[in-house]
Amino acid sequence: MADLSVDFAGLKLKNPFIIASSELTNKLEKIKWAEENGASAVSTKLTFLQVPLYARPYHIIEKEGAFYSPSGERMKVEDTQELISQCKEQTELKVIANMMGPGGDIDAWVKLARMLEEAGADMVELNMSCPNLGLMAKQVGKDEKPTLGAVIGKDPELAGTVCKAVSDGVKIPVMAKMTPEAETMIVSEACWQNGAAAVSAINCPQSLPPLDIKNGGRPMYPSTGNQSTAGLCGPWIRPLAYRHIAQIRTRCPDLPLAGGGGLMNWRHSVEAIMYGATTLTYCSLLYLKGYKAFAKIEPGMRKFMDDYGYETLADMRGLALKYIVTPGEVDYIPMLPEIDLEKCNGCGICAAPGHCECIEIIDKKAVLVKPKDCYSCAVCYFLCPKDAITMVEAPIENTRAGVAMKEM
């Protein structure tokens, strides 16, 4: 049977599955659910020495796509200390304490980290990505000094300075959480060179949600009268997360990397590892589908690994990196869609794309009428709801894509 165990910056984990810092990890009962359903570690909800503002969870969800999360409860350090202590007494989980120090006071970051270490945390996670009051005020034109947090993650020198101070000040491993608003591979390298034992990528990109267009552009939230820019989570950000994971792994081949962002099933989890993740973090899946969906990831991954001969996670890690090239180096293969008329129900979805003039519906079946105009783009292949289309290799002179290649 496949071995899912992993050494993550000194933490011995039974599997790579970590519940990300969120309202999923602010109470002992929820953390116990995480353990019961297969997690090996949790990152506790964001903690401050002094909570800078009142906030409670409010979200907008677009089905199967976006999970927009402008706000969530922040925890006082005393409450997190108690939670960590409870977790260490009542679970076997590794506890990662997500934290953010106050603006302009790096010593306070060290103080906070030590308090969490003393409570029993196995690792601290420096939040260098969460939007905060000062930053958002600046973005909307108000004259307030940005506080550390989202600002620090964009500055490799500042991020490295904080990592060095905290790493020198505690004995447990330090992990830095990356913002996708930055060049994460550069910031990650700076953190690693200055004592960080690991990085986590990515947090959510800043965004704005859809509006209530029938009510003068008011927010869609039923529970607030206005809104702020904030994190976009869920499946829509997964390709963005893959890009950051791959770039960090390419830049820092040996850096322990917790990869996440819109991972919704075991297949996504395998993909993240093949892009270079050491461990995996989950949040939106649990918000949207609960722990029963999360519990399916481990058996799904084990079966995949057994079926394809991967004995350990290291056997899969980074396999996809060798296929990432510059645009000018892409190896294009001329292909044409082959339509299975028994499966085709003539729905017309494949003939609808505006850029394509190759497929028509004739006698209630899809027919490739102009193969030499085909770009080999494969949009029809991905759109077909009946899996009636297969892309097959074609002679170079038989497709528009092939002719264009020959002429280059």
Rounded to 5, what percent of the chain is helix, strand, coil?
Answer: 40, 20, 40
Report the run of H or E that residue 259 belongs to, with start and end. Answer: strand 257-260
What is the C-alpha separation between 209 and 220, in angstroms, rounded?
Answer: 8
DSSP 312: B
3-state class (DSSP) for residue 280: strand
Pair 235, 65: CB distance under 8 Å: yes
Q: Report the 10 Å Cβ neighbour count for 121.
A: 29
The model's pTM: 0.90
pLDDT, position 203: 92
Identify the pLDDT of residue 407: 62
- For residues 141 and 185, what is the distance between their CA atoms, to the nearest angstrom? 30
Rg of the chain on CA atoms, in Å: 24
Instruction: Look at residue 397 in the predicted model and tell me its pLDDT.
Output: 74
Q: Where are the alpha helices (DSSP H) in 8-102?
A: 28-36, 77-90
| pLDDT for 202 | 95
Residue 341: what residue type?
L
- Among residues 101, 91, 98, the alpha carbon closest in space to that of 123 is found at 98
Give alpha helix (H) positions in 70-155.
Answer: 77-90, 106-119, 133-139
Say how far residue 258 (Cα) sits from the centre of its chain: 9
Cα gap 205→244, rounded to integer Å: 12
pLDDT at 129: 81
Can you name the residues that pair with 322 across neighbouring β-strands? none
What pLDDT score was predicted for residue 402? 61
Q: Tell me the pLDDT of the chain (408 aa) as tens digits.
A: 899 999 999 999 999 999 999 999 999 999 999 999 999 999 999 999 887 665 666 666 777 677 767 667 789 999 999 999 999 999 999 999 999 987 668 899 999 999 999 999 999 999 988 654 444 334 434 454 544 455 688 889 989 999 999 999 999 999 999 999 999 999 999 999 999 999 999 998 888 888 899 999 998 878 888 887 778 888 999 999 999 999 999 999 999 999 999 999 999 999 999 999 999 999 999 998 999 999 999 999 999 999 999 999 999 999 999 999 999 999 988 899 999 999 999 999 999 999 999 999 999 999 999 998 998 999 999 999 999 999 999 887 766 666 665 665
Q: Could you tell me the two tokens for 171?
A: 């004995």
Query: Which DSSP symbol is given to 14?
Result: S
Output the DSSP codes for 349-394.
Answer: GGG--TT--SEEEETTEEEE--GGG-----HHHHH-TT--EEEEE-
Walk me through the domains of the chain, giving residue ranges and CATH numbers: 6-323 (3.20.20.70), 332-407 (3.30.70.20)
**pLDDT, position 139:** 41
